[in-house]
Chain A
């Protein structure tokens, strides 16, 4: 491709569809599947609750543990009813919003802070690095569940508090990774080349080091989506996470645990949704990482390059 085809005269949408990344995307069924699933879940989480939040909390004790895969009680009960006869399908839809909000905010907050602090700490080193790292150690040593338990016990168990507490406890995961990678990248020759060309430390950290560390953090963040959903679920299970009538997928899994023998579907459906979402997030982020790394993408997607136009 020539310089001309990259220029800004071409509308952005067309540029996306012409780019080699788009071709790679079309060539990878796993990437398509996971992207579509994530898109679908997000769509449902945004649109769904508007229509079904009333019915989702409607209890009908006659439909307690109503078995799935029959349409006799309408589409709402196609995945069965839970312990209070609420329609599992609608609960899943309403729960999607809460779960995604918690996951997105917790992961976003901890990843952003951990990434920034890790970069700074690894790049500049010195006593600040030491203090930050010890703080992260302390945070890491105290079981995050215990910390969350105490904090949520003292404060009100609300979604906001849940997000803040989980967000803080997950920071060290990113901080350590970002720092370790920064230490490695910092010693590479191109950093020295940039120094010799007169780039400031700040510029090198943000322009040269940060993009090298970013793909790892992004992959880690996607992995953490599942962890966070499950952690929120554990707190809910202990009774200090979400409170009814709020519901998320983790809470549904926790609710159904007691009845696993008699009514498997109460636990299994939300469980499957959690697994699928986490899996999709992982697969998609892995694919993205491979594509974004120009050296790797050649190995991963060994399609012949198109002839260069002169």
Chain B
């Protein structure tokens, strides 16, 4: 059987002056069309670098081995020209730091126009219509009057909405969202999550949602991968994992989360032995 995205025994090592860091140590999972998967884990557990490796974005001194097959195409070790059709069009990515995600010298409109004319091969007038539609779709009020505004005139939440518009504008088969709400406050966060969930349904995209927030993972995903220290320690149906965690780490993670406690006495701190150095 071949899923849309098949990740087999991926290892990512960084060779530094103080030795080799094994950021990801042999991870395997797969994702089908339209499926939503949450990747949870503490900071430094390797989830972000794993997300980036799916698009071949891990750069020197990082080294990826194993196999990442998207739509029948191998990503690991592929040349730039082979990766280009995958990037954006196959899998698009939304990054964590929304505040710096747009180039300050270009207007919001020209960001959208650029990807639509160049990547989607639309004419300028088609692209303009599509860009305005995308802005409305991600919830920018008065899209028309804000078309020529620059990124600094947008709030953090709105910038992230534009980043999402840039990603979905390419109609990818999978959307990789790397902690898209971390830089935003809680009220904005809820809006962005709703947006991503709705867009995933409307566009029938697969979703890889990278987060350290268990509540968010529970809301957004059908399946969850729990990462710890570069490995997937547990994966399964979201509901199943949250109700009957099998791995000790998952249990400790859930016990330390306020959403599952009725009073603070129920909260269990993460055992010392699980705390990563990062």
Contact = CB atoms under 8 A, between A and B. Distances in A.
Interface of A: 1-3, 6, 188-190, 192-198, 200-201, 207-208, 211-212, 293-295, 298, 308-310
A212 B105 contact: yes
B92 interface: yes
Contact of B95 (A193, A309, A310): A193
Contacts of A197: 87-88, 92, 115, 119, 166-167, 170
B40 interface: no
B104 A294 contact: yes
B100 A196 contact: no
Contact of B145 (A192, A207, A310): A310
Interface in B124-169: 128, 142, 144-145, 147-148, 150, 152-153, 163, 166-167
Given A190-B101, A197-B119, A207-B114, 13 more contacts: A3-B148, A188-B100, A189-B101, A192-B95, A193-B93, A196-B57, A196-B92, A196-B95, A197-B92, A198-B84, A198-B119, A200-B80, A211-B103
A41 B23 CA distance: 62
A18 to B, nearest CB: 13
Contacts of A193: 93, 95, 101-102, 163, 166
A127 to B, nearest CB: 13
A3 B144 contact: yes
Interface in B98-125: 100-105, 114-115, 119
B144 A2 contact: yes
A6 B95 CA distance: 32
B104 A196 contact: no
B49 to A, nearest CB: 13
A295 B145 contact: no
A294 B119 contact: no
Nearest to A305: B153
A196 B93 contact: yes
A196 B150 contact: no
B84 A294 contact: no
Interface residues of B, number: 36
A295 B104 contact: yes
Across the A-B interface, give the 5 residue pairs with the lowest CB-CB distance, nearest first.
Answer: A198-B87, A198-B88, A196-B93, A189-B100, A197-B88
A64 B166 CA distance: 72
A232 B6 CA distance: 65
A2 B150 CA distance: 15
Nearest to B99: A189
Contacts of A3: 128, 144, 147-148
A270 B87 CA distance: 59
A251 to B, nearest CB: 41
A124 B145 CA distance: 38
B55 interface: yes
A6 B104 contact: no
B85 interface: yes
Nearest to A207: B114
Nearest to A4: B144
A2 B92 CA distance: 31
A189 B95 contact: yes
B32 interface: no
Given A6-B148, A196-B92, A197-B170, A190 B103 contact: yes
B31 to A, nearest CB: 17
Contacts of A196: 55, 57, 87-88, 92-93, 95
A198 B89 contact: yes
Contacts of A208: 103
B152 A295 contact: yes
A298 B148 CA distance: 15
A195 B57 contact: yes
Q: Which of B102, B105, B148, B167 has the most CB of A within 10 A?
A: B105
11 contacts: A189-B101, A190-B101, A193-B93, A193-B101, A197-B87, A197-B119, A198-B89, A211-B105, A212-B103, A294-B105, A294-B153
A2 B128 CA distance: 13
A105 B101 CA distance: 38
Contacts of B150: 294-295
Contacts of A198: 83-89, 119, 170
Q: Which of A194, A212, A295, A309 has the most CB of B within 10 A?
A: A194
Contacts of A294: 104-105, 150, 152-153
A196 B174 CA distance: 12
B35 interface: no
B84 A2 contact: no
Contacts of A192: 57, 95
Q: Which of A1, A192, A309 has the most CB of B within 10 A?
A: A192
A207 B85 CA distance: 20
Contacts of B86: 198
B97 interface: yes
Contacts of B100: 188-190
